[in-house]
Structure 1
Amino acid sequence: MRAERRKKKRRWVRVTGIILLLLFLGAGAYAYSVYHSLSKAMETMHDPTSRKVSDKRAQEVSLEAQEPFSVLMLGVDEREGDKGRSDTMIVLTVNPELETVKMLSIPRDTRVEIVGRGTEDKINHAYAFGNEEMAMATVENFLDIPIDYYIKVNMEGFQDIVDAVGGITVNNSFEFSNGGITFKEGQIGLTGEEALSYVQMRYDDPQGDFGRQQRQRQIIRGVIREGASLNSLTNFGDIFSALGENVRTNLTWDQMVDIQKNYRKSGRMIDQLAIQGEGGYIGRVWYLFVSDEERERVRQELKGHLAI
C-alpha cells in the first residue's frame, strides 16, 4: 500500500504570484493592453461561492482597511469526467501591519471531520465531495480560523503558467532524479514540466516534506521574478491566457487591485509552517493523525497572525 502511495503524483500550487502579476499594470506604453488582457483573464478566473462571509467572521474582511485575511490554495488534478481531489491544500494568512505571510501546507492524508458530510476522512476528499465550499468549510473547522478566499489551480495545466513566463531558474541544493528527469546541483533552468517534477519529489529528500516546501518556494519566487520582469511584457498575453484557463478564485477584480495596492509589502517575508502528525492505518487506509495539542498550536499561531 505504501509503495503504491509513493507512486502517486504529488500536486502542488503556489499561486500567490498571480497577485504580483498585477505589477504589469504599470508597464508604460503597454499599460492599456496589459490591463485589457488581465481584466479579461480575471473575468474567466472569477468563480464566486454561495457564501459571502466566513462563518467565523461577523462581517466580510475589508481589504481597503488593510485587515489581515486568509486564502485557501487548492491544487486539483482535474480530468474529463472527474473533478478530482485537492491533492495540495495550502492556507495563507496575510498581515499587512507585520508585512508577513504565513504559509501552512496541510498534508492531503490528514484525517479530519468533513463538514457537511458528518464523517471523518482524508482532508483532500472534501473538495471531491463538495467542491471549494466544502473544502473551505472543512479547513475552517480543522484550524478554527476564517477562510476568506480560495484560489484553485488545475495542476494538469499549471506548467503552462511556468512556460508562459519563459521558464524559471532555481538553485538546487542537491542532485536528484524524479519522473525521468535528473536535476543537477546548483543553478538550473526549468520548463513547466520540469518545474512540476522538481517539486513533486519528496521521499528521497533528506528533509522530507520541509525540503519539498523549500523547492515549492523557489518556484514561487521564480514565477514572480520572471512574471514581473520587463522581458515578460512581450508574453503577457500568454501569461494571462494560462492563468485564465487554469486558475479559479472567488476574488474579484477590485479585490485583486486592493491586494496589489495595500498588501504588496506583505509578500516580502513568507514564514512556512509545518503541521506534525503520526501516520497509521484504519482498516487498509493510511491516514495522518494530528493530535489535539498540535492542532491547537497551529491554530493559535494562525489566529495571532490574523489578529483574531
Structure 2
Amino acid sequence: MGRRRGQGRRTWAQLCVVLAGLLVFLAAVGGAVGLAMVKSRIDRIPRVSVGLSLSFEERGDSEAQNFLLVGIDSAAGIDPGSPIHIDRDINTLLTDSVILVRIDPDADRVAMLSIPRDLWVPISGKGRHDRVNAARAMGGAATLIDTVSEYLGVPVHHYVEVNFAGFLQIVEAVDGVPVQIAQPIRDDSVGLRIEQAGVFPLDPDTALAYARTRRPLTLVEGGDPDDDNDWVRLGVWNDLERNQRQQEFVVATLKRAVEKGIRNPLTLRRVVDELLGGENPSITLDDRITVGRLVNLGNEFRSFGVDQIERYELPVVDAVRDGKQVLLLREQQARPALEFFRAGSLAGVRVRVLNGAPSGTVVGVEVALELAGFSVVERGNADRFDVARTVVRYTEGFEAEAETLARYVEPAPRLELVTGISGADVELVVGGDYATISGRPRDSAS
C-alpha cells in the first residue's frame, strides 16, 4: 500500500478536492488586490460551527494542515429539468464521500486520502458503530469530524463541504472540462451518453453524469448507437473504476482552471462570481478558517503543479456488520499512509483510557489528553481495579506511540508490551498513583 493513482471508493471525495484547489487558486492571486476581490464573496460562504471539534494544535501558514473535505449527495437548488433528478428524491442529504487532504507548504506536498463511505467505525459520542457516512446525519459535521479524527488518529484542522450544485458551478466557472474518453460510454440512469471516443469538453450536466455513473455501458466495435443490444457492460461496475474516472476528472478540472487564467484578476472575478455569487452558496466552511489563511496558503502554492498531488488509499476488506455490507480497516496495513497524515501531531496517537484504580475516574484524564492533543478513541474500565502504578500498554510496532504518551503522564507510568489491542494504538490504564497529564512532555518516557 502507498501512493497510487486512481484509488479510493466514492464520487464526492475527489469533487471536493476540485473545490479546495480552486479556493487555493483564488486566494493565490496575490496581495491586497486579490484579497479585496474575493474577501466579500468568501465571507458570504456559510460557516458551520465545528471549531471545538477541530484540532487544538495551532498551525502556522507554512505548517502542514489537514482539511476534511465532504461531498453531500444533495440535488437541492438544481433546475428540476436536470438529469441529476433521475430516480432521486430532491430532499436526499447523504454524506456520499469523505476525503482527508494534507497540505504541507514546507515540504511542497499536497496529498489526499479517500475514506470509503462504508467504512465501519465507532461513531463519536454515540456509543455505537456504523458506516462513517452515517456520522454526519447522527450529529452534524462535528460528529463526522470527531469520528474520523478519533478512529484514524489524524488531526483535522479545517472542514469544507460541497453539494451537487457546487460541482455544477465549478464546471460552469471554467467553461466546461475537456476529458479524454477512451471509448463510448452510456448510463441512462444518470443521463450519460457519449457515443464516440476522443477528447470532449464536458458541460456541467454531462460532467456530473460522468462523475456519478456506476453501471456504464460501452458500444461494441462497429455497433449501432441506436441499437440497445450493441451496448454492453463497461468494466466490472465497482467503485474503484468510478473513482479512477473521478481522479482523472479532478486533474482535468484543475488543469482547466489554470488554462483559463484563474490567476488573472479579471478571470478570477468572473470565476468567483460563478462559484460564490448566488444567494445560496453550495459550499460550507468551518468557523475557524479565515480569508487571510486562504490567501497565505495560496501564496505558498502559487507554482504548485496539479500533477504533483499525491493519492493514498485505505486498505479495507468486505464484511457484514449488523446486517449491513461494510468495509473493515486493515489497521496494520493502513499505518504507512496514516502516519503521513498524522506527522507532527499528537493526534496521531490513538488512546484508549481505562480506569484501573478503585476510586478513580477517567473522565478528567480523557479531557486532559485531548487538550494536550491526543486522540482519545474510547474510555472504560480495566479488567481489575487494584492497579497501583499507571500503565501504558502497546503492541509490537507501537513503541514510539507508547513512549510519546508516557512522556505526558505524571508520574511516569510503566510501559507494557501486550497483544490484542484493537481500535487504538495504545491503552492508558489509570492507576492509583496517577496525578495529571502534563502540558509539556518529559525528556524521556520513564
Decide which of 191, 214, 217 is 2:247's aligned counterpart: 217
Q: Relative to structure 2, which stretch is displaced further, 185-194 or 86-95?
A: 185-194
Q: Is the 8 A contact 2:319 2:327 kept in 1?
A: yes
* Count of equivalent residues: 292
2:316 aligned residue (266, 277, 281):
277
The separation in 2 between residues aligned to 1:61 and 1:207, in whole angstroms, is: 42
Deviates more, 1:110-119 or 1:268-277: 268-277
Letter in 1 for 2:23: I
> How is 1:73-222 mapped onto 2 (pairs within 5 angstroms)?
73-78=69-74, 84-178=93-187, 179-183=190-194, 184-202=196-214, 204-205=234-235, 208-222=238-252
Preserved CA contact (<8 Å) 1:110 1:289: yes
Unaligned segments of structure 1, at least 5 residues: 1-8
Q: Which range is displaced more, 184-193 or 84-93?
A: 184-193
Whether 1:18 aligns to 2:22 is yes
* Cα shift at 1:214: 3.5
Q: CA deviation at 1:234?
A: 7.1
CA gap of 1:137–1:205, structure 2 versus 1, over 3 A, is: farther
Q: Please, which moves more after superposition, 205-214 or 71-80?
A: 205-214
CA distance in 1, matches of 2:304, 2:135: 30
Q: Give me the whole-angstrom Cα distance separating, in 2, the residues matched to 1:306 and 1:73.
A: 19
% identical aligned pairs: 22
By how many angstroms is 1:69 displaced?
A: 0.7
Distance 2:235 2:104 in 1: 31
* Deviation at residue 267 of structure 1 after TM alignment: 5.4
Q: Distance in 1 between matches of 2:345 and 2:118?
A: 26
Could you tell me whether the CA contact under 8 Å between 1:170 and 1:187 is conserved in 2?
A: yes
SS at match of 2:162: strand
**Match for residue 295 of structure 1?**
334
Q: Do the aligned residues in 1 keep the contact of 2:41 with 2:276 (CA within 8 Å)?
A: yes
Provide Cα deviations, 1:54-98, integer angstroms capped at 9, x if missing partner.
45x5x31111xx001110110012466958221110111112233
Inter-partner Cα distance in structure 1 for 2:53 and 2:319: 36
SS of residue paired to 1:87: strand
Cross-structure match for 2:282: 246
Q: Is 1:68 the equivalent of 2:64?
A: yes
Deviates more, 1:231-240 or 1:129-138: 231-240
Alpha-carbon contact 1:42-1:244 (below 8 Å) kept: no
Q: What letter corresponds to residue 155 of structure 1 in structure 2?
A: F
Give me the TM-score of the superposition, normalised by structure 2.
Answer: 0.58
TM-score normalized with structure 1 length: 0.81
Instruction: Write out per-residue CA displacement over residues 4-28 of structure 1, whole angstroms, 9 at most, x where no aligned residue.
Output: xxxxx9544222222243168469x
Moved more, 121-130 or 292-301: 292-301
In our comparison, the structure showing a higher alpha carbon Rg is: 2
Distance change >3 Å, CA 23–CA 147, structure 1 → 2: closer
Any unmatched runs of 5+ in structure 2? 1-9, 77-89, 216-233, 349-446
> Partners of 1:25 and 1:242 in 2: how far apart?
22
For 1:169-221, what per-residue CA distance to the aligned partner results, in whole angstroms no more than 9, with x for missing partners?
12233432232322443311111121122122345545954443343233333
Q: What is the deviation of 1:52?
A: 5.1
Cα pair 2:166 2:283 within 8 Å, conserved: no
Q: Which has the higher helix share?
A: 1
Q: 1:54 to 1:126 in 2, by over 3 A?
A: same
Match of 1:4 in 2: none
Provide the aligned C-alpha RMSD in A. 3.2
**Residues 1:259 and 2:294 are matched in the alignment:** no
Bigger RCO (CA 8 Å, 6+ sep): 1
Does the 8 A contact of 1:279 with 1:289 survive in 2? yes
Q: Quickly say closer, same or farther: Cα 1:264–1:305, change in 2 above 3 A.
A: farther
Distance in 1 between residues matched to 2:246 and 2:107, nearest whole Å: 23
By how many angstroms is 1:119 displaced? 0.9
- Structure 1 226/297 Cα, relative in aligned 2: closer, same or farther at 3 Å? closer
Q: Are the equivalent residues in 2 in contact too, given 1:160–1:242 (CA < 8 A)?
A: no
